[in-house]
């Protein structure tokens, strides 16, 4: 027991990538130009959307890239836990709230997989993923589509090593 207090925690190999995704989710264009609500929920929607797209790209990569996917999710869960605790959410509801938010990420991954596999209605998925199906103008939806497309293009252009290093 005492030795575990001095055991150095293993670094998560997806940490740099996670920070790159967070940085992209903080771009003001999401909130200013695409009109995603600049709220905790709106920021979650952008982050979860970018994480879902990143997860899909990792799944198309080498064994090393594929192995980063669960590690990226671990960081997301740990970050949610910290953020929710800091916002005052207590232990009795914390677990359920984190599970619901992770389920939201899983749903986004499934929707984007469907679009990638069958060429489904991309704008409908953007509306659900970023705006939770709220009514949004065509101009804002078009900007959001451009931002999503830019992120996807950057992910595709990045090699697996670059992704691991957070160079997107």
8-state DSSP, 159: -
Question: Is the predicted pLDDT of residue 10 greater than 90, yes or no?
Answer: no
pLDDT in tens, 118-129: 887 899 999 999
pLDDT in tens, 64-82: 999 999 999 999 988 887 7
Identify the pLDDT of residue 4. Answer: 55
Which residues, 6+ apart, have CB-to-CB distance to 130 below 8 Å?
30, 34, 36, 45, 46, 49, 144
Identify the pLDDT of residue 1. Answer: 46
Residue 139: closest CA among 23, 12, 26, 32? 32
pLDDT in tens, 25-56: 999 999 999 999 999 899 999 999 999 999 99
Identify the pLDDT of residue 90. Answer: 67
- Measure the CA–CA gap between 162 and 29, rounded to whole angstroms: 24
């Amino acid at each position: 027991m005492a030795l575990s207090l001095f055991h150095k925690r293993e670094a998560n190999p997806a940490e740099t990538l996670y920070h790159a995704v967070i940085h992209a989710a903080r771009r003001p264009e999401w909130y200013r130009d695409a009109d995603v609500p600049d709220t905790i929920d709106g920021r979650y929607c952008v982050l979860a959307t970018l994480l879902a797209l990143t997860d899909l790209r990792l799944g198309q990569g080498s064994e090393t890239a594929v192995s980063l996917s669960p590690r990226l999710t671990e960081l997301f869960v740990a970050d949610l836990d910290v953020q929710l605790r800091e916002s005052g959410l207590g232990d009795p509801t914390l677990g359920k709230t984190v599970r619901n938010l992770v389920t939201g990420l899983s749903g986004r991954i499934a929707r984007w997989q469907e679009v990638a596999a069958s060429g489904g209605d991309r704008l409908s998925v953007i509306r659900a993923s970023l705006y939770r199906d709220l009514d949004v103008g065509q101009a804002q939806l078009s900007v959001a589509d451009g931002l999503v497309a830019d992120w996807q293009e950057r992910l595709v252009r990045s090699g697996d090593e670059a992704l691991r290093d957070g160079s997107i």
